[in-house]
Amino acid sequence: MTINSKTMTLRENAGVHFLTYNKLSEIDFINHAFSTRLGGVSKGIFDSMNLSFEHDDFDTVTENYKRFCKGADFNFDTLVASSQDHHSFVRVCTKNECGIGITRPKDIKSVDALVTNEKGVTLVTYYADCTPLFFVDTKKKAIGLAHAGWRGTVQKIGAEVIKTMTENYGTDPADLVCAIGPAISVCCYEVDKSCADNFYALKLDDSKFVFPKSGGKFMVDLLEANRQILLSCGVKKENITVSDLCTRCNSDLLWSHRATAGKRGTMSAFMALK
């Protein structure tokens, strides 16, 4: 399988297919990956690489994680997962949190972003159309992942991650290298007025991410909205990469909630310090 992307590379190892950002791959002290639908052992509507334990068999999903970690070169024992429900809480992670959400129960609700500056900690967040945000502090050597659905986006979860990294690690936003996506893109993300009004309330250049249609509908560009939020925090324009892969348009490779009418598995973003 091939993809048409200028920003990401589709890789395969040990039967596992995953995406990496070309820009992030240039940073030698991190490992990162974004899973696809391919390379796992789940069955039915979750076929085959499903990384959510909800509704799927626990042992099957665990095997998927082990296969993914082997293929993408992560240590299974270092994983720490989010507990997402479309809010903007950022969890600071250390080795003490390893296993939470994977081999240990989730202990905090409403965790939509994770940060760390410790080696031996692999951050894991979940997606199936919502927008992943990757953060790498190239000076302080700290990293973050965030899940930005439309609610997380209008709550400016990206800004919350930067604030948390600044407070805990001394991060200067100018030193951050960030990546946005893959997610459902403006070509496929239609919302009603009540949802669109939340994006207008951001007070950014909404002419570039909210597009009115007939019948009271709007097309929204989640990726551009998040890009502008990062810029407003001081991240340099040249340090932000936006994925050119729409999850719905590439639903043969990527899980998409809208493409499957909710009958689907879940992808994950992974990142760790080497």
pLDDT at 1: 83
Using a pLDDT cut of 70, give the percent of the chain over it: 100
pLDDT digits (tens, 9 = 90+) for 41-59: 999 999 999 999 999 999 9
Using a pLDDT cut of 90, give the percent of the chain over it: 99
pLDDT tier at 103 (50, 70, 90 boundaries)? very high
String of DSSP letters for 108-139: SS-B-EEEE--TT-EEEEEESSSEEEEEEETT
What does the alpha-carbon distance between residue 90 and residue 144 come to, in Å, rounded to a whole number? Answer: 9
| Cβ contact 268:61 at 8 Å | no
pLDDT tier at 264 (50, 70, 90 boundaries)? very high
pLDDT digits (tens, 9 = 90+) for 157-174: 999 999 999 999 999 999
pLDDT at 252: 97
| Exposed/middle/buried for residue 173 (C-beta within 10 Å: 0-12, 13-18, 19+) | buried
Q: Is 254 strand, coil or helix?
A: coil
Q: Is the pLDDT of residue 97 over 90?
A: yes
φ, ψ of residue 76 to 5 degrees: the values are: -55, -35
pTM of the model: 0.98
- Least Cα distance to 48 among 57, 36, 59, 58 occurs for 36
- Least Cα distance to 143 among 112, 167, 122 occurs for 122
Mean pLDDT of 214-227: 97
- Least Cα distance to 146 among 167, 161, 136, 164 occurs for 161
Residue 163: half-sphere exposure toward Cβ, Cα within 13 Å: 12
Query: Homologous superfamily of 8-184+239-273 in CATH?
Result: CNF1/YfiH-like putative cysteine hydrolases (3.60.140.10)
pLDDT at 86: 92
